[in-house]
Amino acid sequence: MKTSAQELKPTGHVINGVNVEDVIGLIDDIGRNIKYAKTQFRARNSWVNGGVNQSEVKGFYACCQEDNSRNKAFELRNDEPLFLAGEDKAPNPVEYVLHALAGCLTTTMVYHAAVQGIEIEAVESSYEGDLDLRGIFGLSEEVRKGYNKVRVKMRVKSKASAEELTTLAMFSPVYDIISKSLPVSFILETH
């Protein structure tokens, strides 16, 4: 959508759709007072029936205070696919793990790039998670219950190098959580 020159923010303030001054302002706050780094996210969940349950995501703690800026909760539903005796009306929990990883790698790379003045034009990525059902069903103690391996392929349109962008993506909190638990292969290509 085109906008008039008057509506545009000053050059350099918004890169990759990220308001860089807002992010740098937060980093400065944390540098001045470590308490600004302490954040707590939350969810509440209610079982509906069978493999269906629903989460509400609303309040959180950030910037030294309870953040009540959300007027209503986000509602997220889990279900299971047909072969797992579900009704398949929503993704299942291990699919949500891949979505969380995807979002976190992408956003972390895009934000870090913005702060460094690196423009990104497009990001596409794909995720595969290998699960051995003997784990969840307790059929083998040698098989882990969670993913055995996750593979990530990311394709980024940018003038920055693949190595540079990989370094930025590796700041991702969800990547940290998953890659400290199981092998995650990460391949990033630029074009």
| Nearest approach, Cβ of residue 93 and a copy of itself (Å) | 4
CB of 5 or CB of 34, closer to a copy of itself: 34
| Nearest approach, Cβ of residue 148 and a copy of itself (Å) | 10
- CA quadruple 89, 175, 31, 35: dihedral positive or negative? positive
| Nearest approach, Cβ of residue 151 and a copy of itself (Å) | 9
In a 10 Å sphere around its CB, with 0-12 CB exposed, 13-18 middle and 19+ buried, how is residue 156 labelled?
buried
Q: How many Cβ atoms sit within 10 Å of the Cβ of residue 51?
A: 19
| Nearest approach, Cβ of residue 191 and a copy of itself (Å) | 14
Taking CA atoms, 165 is separated from 52, 102, 123, 152, 189, in Å, by 38, 15, 11, 14, 9
CB of 126 or CB of 185, closer to a copy of itself: 126
CB of 5 or CB of 78, closer to a copy of itself: 78
- Which amino acid makes up residue 47? W
CB of 93 or CB of 161, closer to a copy of itself: 93
